[in-house]
Structure 1
């Protein structure tokens, strides 16, 4: 996209939109010297700026005077994208009523629904879904809105997506699922919701690590407890380790305690070491002491 250099009046127009100065916006439009969809060097229009900053009156005025809600920045992001990102429900409704494309993607594939899910703006998520947003759209790395919501710990958003048909086990290109990312990030309530919705407990990332392994090695004991309710694999995983080995290696005593009760303490990893030996090699003395007393 080739963008012409902004005039001084264009700059003033953009500044008024950014600041939410609706009177100045009207004055500049009345001069006839600015185009309603004038763009800066990044392709940003006054409508995009006002939407991003939550200036509802300016958005109303710009739309009334013919601003195009389809205009996007060089990144592909639209006014609706930024309204969703900011959680500005009234502005999102105005833009949708004006014909904004609900699933218009950015260059990385992210849609307004993605950023609303990422930021945990449930009312915007509900509005977008009600208006037909694709709950199973994918970014270039195949991450879905549910994956993004799970990654950021937004339980209510996850529940909303699941209730509206989101695929619970749709995986990213590296085969990480929403449950996997929730486990890695320590989001217990999200993990519980995903498991209740039927998420497969042992789906592993391409490196062979399962949700239980990630939760254990990160020390997320509450997530480990949730996963253990669903009889996960406690044996050797495709990565050559067990969840207990992972917890022992990284000194996660609370997780070791939970896992040791149900695991085979003599199980050897792909290097021929049991969990006690792994802890010893890693210098985790508290783990060594605990496992020694339970062997």
Structure 2
């Protein structure tokens, strides 16, 4: 969530920001038409009134600021723009308006974020559709390598995932640490996302740099619906790089249902601790 500073250079500039935040079009017009305050007045972080109005979703105020000469593509200290904030909050009408006046999809925040990455992360499907139609790059990546698809998978946003895949997103594109969208969805327990990714060819047995697979993580977390989806595609049940298995993870976490699912899928019980497995299976 973005927090805007309230200290402006002058009382009139402060009033402009207040009007933009509250959607008070009459006051905003009065102030801007006075000629005593600029449409691009900004706070100490470089936030403009246009960014505030876009974040708040006040269409008419956004339009007024643009018509008064506000810089659509100005970036605040963090690199965020009016388009970024409107996309983050899901204000698709404002996003459309900004595009009508030349908003760019290429500008990035300091962490590499774009309007598409933040819209995908927040599950703003209507905005994602507009961004893609206006040239947003489905292969955008944050500084850590996370793609829009990865961020949507992390948040469990199935509709956005389908949109991104239809636009050419790479289903197995991992972050710099080797974490793929499927692995992240499995960890978060998003079974429907896991299903969609698997159907689109996600690598079921891809592991992170630490050697853990999606199945291992789902077993560790006790996400049984995810385990069921993964088992439908027959992922490997063998040893990981560190000698552990998904069955190990389920046993050590005390997830009886997960253990039963894995045993039914022919996981080798001899690879688990001789004490912990019987103890778990004897629980009432």
* In the alignment, structure 1 residue 91 sits paired with structure 2 residue 94: yes
1:134-190 C-alpha deviation (Å, 9 max, x unpaired): 111100000000000000001111011001100100001110000000000000000
**Aligned-partner SS, 2:233:** coil
- The CA distance in 1 between the partners of 2:274 and 2:126, in whole Å, is 49
* In the alignment, structure 1 residue 196 sits paired with structure 2 residue 189: no
- The CA distance in 2 between the partners of 1:139 and 1:277, in whole Å, is 45
Q: CA RMSD in A?
A: 1.4
* In the alignment, structure 1 residue 263 sits paired with structure 2 residue 249: no
1:93-147 C-alpha deviation (Å, 9 max, x unpaired): 1111111111311110111111111111111101101111111110000000000
Displacement after TM superposition at 1:243 (Å): 0.3
8 Å contact kept, 1:249–1:278: yes
Q: TM-score, normalised by structure 1?
A: 0.91
Give structure 2 stretches of 5+ with no counterpart: 1-6
The alignment covers a number of residue pairs equal to: 276
Residue in structure 2 matched with residue 177 of structure 1 by the alignment: 180
Q: TM-score, normalised by structure 2?
A: 0.94
**Aligned-partner SS, 1:100:** coil
Residue in structure 2 matched with residue 293 of structure 1 by the alignment: none
* In the alignment, structure 1 residue 246 sits paired with structure 2 residue 249: yes
Residue in structure 2 matched with residue 78 of structure 1 by the alignment: 81
8 Å contact kept, 2:222–2:258: yes
1:45-82 C-alpha deviation (Å, 9 max, x unpaired): 01000000000000011111111111121100000001
Distance 1:83 1:173, change over 3 A: same
Distance 1:141 1:95, change over 3 A: same
1:198-222 C-alpha deviation (Å, 9 max, x unpaired): 0000111111110000001100001
- The CA distance in 1 between the partners of 2:99 and 2:56, in whole Å, is 17
- The CA distance in 2 between the partners of 1:275 and 1:153, in whole Å, is 34
8 Å contact kept, 1:187–1:223: yes
* In the alignment, structure 1 residue 289 sits paired with structure 2 residue 282: yes
**Aligned-partner SS, 1:260:** helix
Q: Which runs of 4+ in 1 moved over 6 A?
A: none
Q: Which of 24, 31, 48 is matched with 1:28 structurally?
A: 31
Residue in structure 2 matched with residue 277 of structure 1 by the alignment: 275
Residue in structure 1 matched with residue 65 of structure 2 by the alignment: 62
